Amino acid sequence: MHKLDVKKKNSRWYFLSEVIKLGRLPFLGAGLILYATGAVLAAIGRGYLPPDQFIMGYAILMPAHLSVSYSNDYYDFELDNPEAVTAYTGGSGVLQRHPELRGFAWKFAVLLISVSLTLAVIYTLIYRNPAVLLLAVAGNLLGWFYSAPPARLSYRGFGEVATALTGFIFPAMGYSVIRGVIDTPLILFSIPIMLLQLVFIINVEIPDLREDLLGGKITFPVRMGVRASRRVMALSAAAATVALGLLEFSPHFDPRISFPLIALLSLTLTVPCIYYYIHNPDEVNVRGSEVVMNSLIAFGVLDLLYLISVLVMQ
């Protein structure tokens, strides 16, 4: 009897671990960085960062972001190849091992979206901030229809546009919970972030090229090839660096923020993008994609830490 109980307990833990893997939690870290960057940017202008608003704002964003992993794996079930899964690409591979979890994945994604929207309504009622509700609705719709019918944005050639828009939505959520508005500084700051999100999505699409081609998924690498994809990544990263530097001349930001320094930090990503375009323009290089992804995260962390230092030293 004791052995049976141990076996049952172990199976529950295994189920839980597979459900967690479905969520691809490392991607939440990237979303938190973008959200916190927007929040700290707003806090520098406001003079302080209210912890209650920051936490509740992320409580709205996090389930919305997490739901995308579950809904994408559900709708990409026929497409994903568990043998091609990497740290950042190819889905989680869980549903291919356990197709009985497909129904759960769909229901859990819907539950997470419901939680996000409910909290957004509560936040709007408490803080009289409709911008947060609008962003929550837009973000959830974009995440759901990225793979879900009838829009299926990633299957119809709009996946890159949808992902680039998250470069506005994520920092805008953080910014709006602190400032209460969507204004010019946020829009200007979001332009280079959207360019970097374009780098992100094309970078993770390159290793999935074969599976996407076979599955009829119209991504940029499928349409234009690896060389053109790496060219766009290099140009987008370089444009983001230039755009960040040019923000130094805008009168809309706190003068204590050194945008040339942020632009310099962005070379953490721009240099690898240019390197792989020059040296491996036609190669589906999984290692290269991981380097670019890690470089993108590194820049996000460095940028956030710098902005935090500006806020703390006010």
Asked, for residue 5, whether it belongs to a domain, the answer is: no
- Tokens matching residue 211: 């599976």
pLDDT tier, 30 (very low <50, low <70, confident <90, very high otherwise): very high
Kindly tell me if the per-residue pLDDT of 225 is higher than 90: yes
**How many structural domains comprise the chain?**
1
pLDDT tens, position by position, 259-280: 999 999 999 999 999 999 999 8
- Tokens matching residue 292: 């670019």
Q: Can you give the pLDDT at residue 16?
A: 83
- Tokens matching residue 110: 């819907």
Asked, for residue 236, whether it belongs to a domain, the answer is: yes
**The whole model's pTM is what?**
0.92
Range(s) of the domain holding residue 227: 25-312
Asked, for residue 10, whether it belongs to a domain, the answer is: no
Asked, for residue 12, whether it belongs to a domain, the answer is: no
Asked, for residue 11, whether it belongs to a domain, the answer is: no
* C-alpha gyration radius of the chain: 20
217 phi, psi to nearest 5 deg: -90, 120
Q: Can you give the pLDDT at residue 4?
A: 41
Q: Can you give the pLDDT at residue 1?
A: 39
Kindly tell me if the per-residue pLDDT of 10 is higher than 70: no
Asked, for residue 229, whether it belongs to a domain, the answer is: yes
Kindly tell me if the per-residue pLDDT of 307 is higher than 70: yes
Asked, for residue 4, whether it belongs to a domain, the answer is: no
Q: Can you give the pLDDT at residue 39?
A: 97
Kindly tell me if the per-residue pLDDT of 222 is higher than 50: yes
Asked, for residue 257, whether it belongs to a domain, the answer is: yes
The span from the CA of 286 to the CA of 61, in Å, is 30
Q: Can you give the pLDDT at residue 213?
A: 86
Residue with tokens 């409580």: 59
pLDDT tier, 77 (very low <50, low <70, confident <90, very high otherwise): confident
pLDDT tens, position by position, 127-184: 999 999 999 999 999 999 999 999 999 999 999 999 999 999 999 999 999 998 899 9
CATH code at position 188: 1.10.600
